[in-house]
Amino acid sequence: MQQKLLFLAVIFVISILKIQGCTETAVCSHGFIPKKNCGKWSCYRDYANIPRQWRGYWGVTHVCEWTWPGSHAVSIHCAEENNWTKARFLYFFTGLYIPKGLPWAPWLFRWTDGTPVNFADWARPGQGSAFQQPHNDVPIERVVDFTNHWHDTISNNPVTNRILCKRNPTKIIRVCPTTKAAPPTPKLTTLTTTKHITPSDIVLETLPYNDVPVIIPKTEKPPPKSSPKSCKV
């Protein structure tokens, strides 16, 4: 019985927390889609059907910034964001690249927005490639496209024709339910009146029929004095 009551109490508390919880909404620039991924709100928009000469290094490092100032080619930081962008936009160039002037090396990839490279979804052999990705080729593969998994690729890629852009929201609106403060509980005060008897209120009187003093409050009348009865002979 106690376990059942405890279970019901827990359910009640959870329900209260759910009712009293706050909700958040991100506001994005026109055309961008708000989504909270990896615990942070971001805004996403793809640039589709980009010219072939933009499908690569130049596009990854310029198209988003030039078209929608404040945005960059998308950076991906967790499995949640990776899965959501794949399901929503299917295939696209990411913002992962190796800057020109640097040799090819898997540890030299970086995001165009400057955020840390703390997540990866490189394709394994058989996932759209015969080799484990990233796998450099000639010419140097400095950019990355996302088709089911990540693949490093050449500039002017003839296949992938879109770049996914990402930016911060213009503002985040947080709404919390308002709760009215309960009125204060009135305190009940019990007044007690006590009459204190002082020595001045007491009269000592000796009655004729005994010599024991009797304490009689002044408020009471003393008993009548009795006269001794005479005996007839």
Backbone φ and ψ for 95, nearest 5 degrees, come out as -90, 15
> According to the model, what pLDDT value does residue 219 have?
53
pLDDT digits (tens, 9 = 90+) for 182-225: 667 766 555 555 555 555 554 544 445 445 555 555 555 555 66
CA pair distance 44, 66, nearest whole angstrom: 15
The mean of the pLDDT values for the chain is 78
pLDDT-derived band at 19 (thresholds 50, 70, 90) equals very low
Q: Check residue 35 and give its pLDDT.
A: 97
Q: Is the pLDDT of residue 125 over 50?
A: yes
Which of 168, 188, 129 is CA-nearest to residue 42? 168
Interval 84-110: pLDDT, tens: 999 999 999 999 999 988 999 999 999
- pLDDT, tens digit, for every residue of 55-68? 888 889 999 999 99
Helix (H) or strand (E) holding 172: strand 171-175
Quote the CA–CA distance of 92 and 143 in Å, as a whole number.
11
Check pLDDT > 50 for residue 8.
Answer: no
Measured torsion, CA atoms of residues 104, 107, 113, 118, in degrees rounded to the nearest 10:
150
Query: What tens digit of pLDDT does each residue of 129-156 get?
Result: 777 888 887 778 889 999 999 999 887 7
Model confidence at 16, pLDDT cuts 50, 70, 90, reads very low
Instruction: Give the C-alpha separation, 144 to 197, whole Å.
Output: 101
Mean per-residue pLDDT, 22-28: 92
Whole-number Å distance between alpha carbons of 45 and 78: 18
Quick check: pTM over 0.95? no
In the numeric block, the tokens 């339910």 are attached to: 177
Whose tokens are 């050449």? That residue is 154
Angle at CA 181, nearest 5°, toward 178 and 185?
160
The residues near 68 (Cβ < 8 Å, ≥ 6 apart) are 29, 32, 45, 165, 167
CB 69 within 8 A of CB 49: no
Q: Rounded distance, CA 230 to CA 233, Å?
A: 10
Q: Is 207 helix (H, G, I), strand (E, B) or coil?
A: coil
Q: Which CATH architecture has domain 24-175?
A: Roll (3.10)
Region 79-88 average pLDDT: 97
Span 107-126, average pLDDT: 94
